[in-house]
Amino acid sequence: MNPEARPPQAGPDIGRDGSSDPPRTALLVLGMHRSGTSALARMLSLLGAELPKHVLGARRGNEAGHWEPERLVMLHDEMLTEAGSRWDDWRGFDPASLGKERLAYYREEISRLIGEEYGEARLFVLKDPRICRFVPLYEELLAGMGIAPRFVLTYRNPISVLDSLAARDGMASAHAAVLWLRHVLDAEAATRGRPRVFLSYEECLGDWRAAAGKTAAALGIEWPRDPDEAAPKIDAQLSPGLQHHAATPADLEADRRVGRTVREAYAALVALSADEGDAAALEALSRVRAELEAGDPAALGLGADDWRAIASRVFTEMATRQYRERRDREHLQRLVAKHRREAENLERRLERLLEEHKRESEKSSQNTRRLQKLGRLQKRNRELEAEVSALRRSTSWRLTRPLRAAVRLLTDPRGTIAFLRAGRAGRPASAPAVPKPAPKAETPPPDEERF
């Protein structure tokens, strides 16, 4: 179905109590790179829309942070690269060009990562400028997950975008201009007739409260967090001091780097910000998009020098890619060799450790056997002690007491006599010492018996 012919659709009411119909809603922030998409995504999150678990943080040129799902961005780059494209490719992108099998892989991976990044969040914000080129893919996947997509289309004065891309990436103005057209036109065409709202970056900087109210009304939502509560952080996020390149409408009219199509498209976006149903603006965007697809330099307001600049950029990029691929290949080869050496060293170390372990195991086995033998001896000792104790308590032990005394008298007569005399005198005396062998000639006869 032609996206431009779709009738407008109202969005569900999303309340602060989390209730909704459908139950889950995704706010997709769509806009060209360097157009304030990060600031807008952060504003929506501070109003209560959930961010992904893994957020792409601040980097050079975006000190306040990107606020986009890092793992999904990496997957998008992988998908574009596989299709022979990349983030700064101004040509149209059709995911079907990947082939059925590979497209199925990316569909599954995108759905999986959305589930992992946002969990069961009822209202969340998802932002990556790359999505502008394949909005229908996301719309279909979200619907299949029971999530209603709502679109926030943001844009910025093209002159500011051109200056920002030139400063950050060294991008030629002609290249940046057609890249700007590709993103804003594809995003608008894919969301026409869907619940959406148009916001300019300058509009958010000027009065973010009005922009937040406009968004809530257009998409049928109520912010989970009160704007007054979120105000301090939003004011810091939308600080004009963070805008490094600020162009005015007069600058756009005077700058010869952009042609008629860019000016017409920007004027139409401004008109749609005021009235989303402006028929003349929609018609202008359809016409400009048809000219972009036709690729006519004159229609796009680009001269021969502009196209040569774009071509030069392409060939330079190709050479850069080849250099990077060669460098990466050599780096990988070095890594493989390094890892192979490390693996060999680890293998030798493992062999030594196994040999040491074997010796220690043998020692441990010997110690175990010794301990087992000691345990058996200790057990036998306890058994013998128990037998002796039982023997001493027995009747036979008591009956043989006179005999034992006689034996003691015979073996140690002096000790026995001293013991008996001490007993009659009533003073304590030590028990006879353990008998020691003595010469038979020196052993006197006992003078009394000990019983």
CB 202 within 8 A of CB 157: yes
Q: H/E element holding 140?
A: helix 135-144
Q: What is the dihedral of CA 212, 204, 128, 135, to 10 degrees?
A: 60
Q: pLDDT by residue (tens digit) across 37-47?
A: 999 999 999 99
Task: Work out the percent of the chain whose per-residue pLDDT is above 90.
Answer: 46
Most confident of 121-125, 324-328, 416-420, 441-445: 121-125
pTM of the model: 0.66
Q: pLDDT by residue (tens digit) across 105-151?
A: 999 999 999 999 999 999 999 999 999 999 999 999 999 999 999 99
**pLDDT confidence band for 17 (50 / 70 / 90):** very low
Residue 7 DSSP code: P
**pLDDT confidence band for 280 (50 / 70 / 90):** very high
Question: Among residues 10, 20, 47, which one has the least CA distance to residue 212?
Answer: 47
* Phi then psi dihedrals of residue 147, to 5 deg: -115, 130
Burial label, 264 (beta-carbon count in 10 A; 0-12, 13-18, 19+): middle
Burial label, 155 (beta-carbon count in 10 A; 0-12, 13-18, 19+): buried
Q: According to the model, what pLDDT value does residue 384 have?
A: 86
CB 206 within 8 A of CB 160: no
Question: Among residues 149, 150, 250, 133, which one has the least CA distance to residue 184?
Answer: 133
Q: According to the model, what pLDDT value does residue 356 have?
A: 87
* Phi then psi dihedrals of residue 196, to 5 deg: -155, 165
Per DSSP, the three-state class of 264 is: helix
